[in-house]
Amino acid sequence: MFTSFREPGKDGLHFLYSYDGYKWDSLPNSFLTPVVGKDKIMRDPSIVKGPDGVFHLVWTTSWKGDKGFGYTSSRDLQHWEQQEFIPVMEHEPTTVNVWAPELFYDEDEKQFIIIWASCIPGRFEKGIEEEANNHRMYYTTTKDFKTFSPAKLFLDPGFSVIDAVIVKTGMQEYTLVLKDNTRNERDLKVAFAKHPLGPYSTASAAFTGKLTEGPTVLKNGEEWLIYYDDYDNKRYGAVSTTDFHNFKDIKGQISVPDGHKHGTVFKVRKKVLHQIK
């Protein structure tokens, strides 16, 4: 399944589904209407299923002005717990935004890692971006979504970065797929680490064209598929890779419904999908 939203994000959570990872269809209607945050929108929904079978959902609640993100959970993707606002950046009063929170379950530490992009004007060296658009990645950890570790810097690659996704690609191997958000790039790159919290290597050269964002990664047989929002061309793109160093453009092999905006791919049992279709 693929979490999704529709512009401008007011009507909440949408889903796509696929049986092969290439051909996607939409489920009708919204499954959750956002009610938290300044703007009460839902953008960039990210879902991870915990070891207890509970689906955890986080999302962007406002373009600017919020110092946290939305959170709720469900056992069946139909009935959701009361929505909460998690104010992870309230200790940084000049924070402009909290964008695209992304969930990762760390099996070794038995905890959830949540990473997101925030801009704190004047904090970091910048290029030609405005101070209010010079982002870095931050993180918090939690075991129960009731208590959270203090937010800390997750990634400063030396440039404005957003839309990062942690992928476990080996026993002690992790790949970070990220968007270089500088004006002359705005494309997707990768970095590598031995621990999900890093430190990560220097970012690679871009493996997508410009004006691409919102990556999500799924394992499909021996290959990894990376879907991304090719927003300049108003379509979805995808590449396949076996090593995150060599990438093959597969946009001609995928089918993604019009209007889908980026979320994350996650697996469910067929009966879960069939109950909500």
Q: Which residues lie closer than 8 Å to 8 by C-beta, 6 or more apart? A: 41
* pLDDT attached to residue 192: 98
Provide block-wise average pLDDT over 10 residues at a time, the chain (277 residues): 96 97 96 98 98 97 98 97 98 98 98 98 92 97 98 98 97 96 97 98 98 98 97 96 98 96 95 95
Q: How far is CA 58 from the centre of its chain?
A: 9
Q: How far is CA 158 from the centre of its chain?
A: 21
* pLDDT attached to residue 126: 87
Q: Rounded CA gap, 167 and 164, in Å?
A: 10
* pLDDT attached to residue 130: 92
Query: What are the boundaries of each domain within the chain?
Result: 2-276
Q: Which residues lie closer than 8 Å to 277 by C-beta, 6 or more apart? A: 17, 27
**CATH fold for the domain made of 2-276:** Tachylectin-2; Chain A (2.115.10)
Neighbours of 83 (CB within 10 A): 20
Phi (first) and psi of residue 251, to 5 degrees: -60, -25
* pLDDT attached to residue 88: 98
* pLDDT attached to residue 127: 86
The torsion angle over the Cα atoms of residues 253, 258, 259 and 264, rounded to 10 degrees, is: -20
Contact 69, 46 (CB under 8 A): no
Q: Which pTM does this prediction carry?
A: 0.98
* pLDDT attached to residue 259: 93
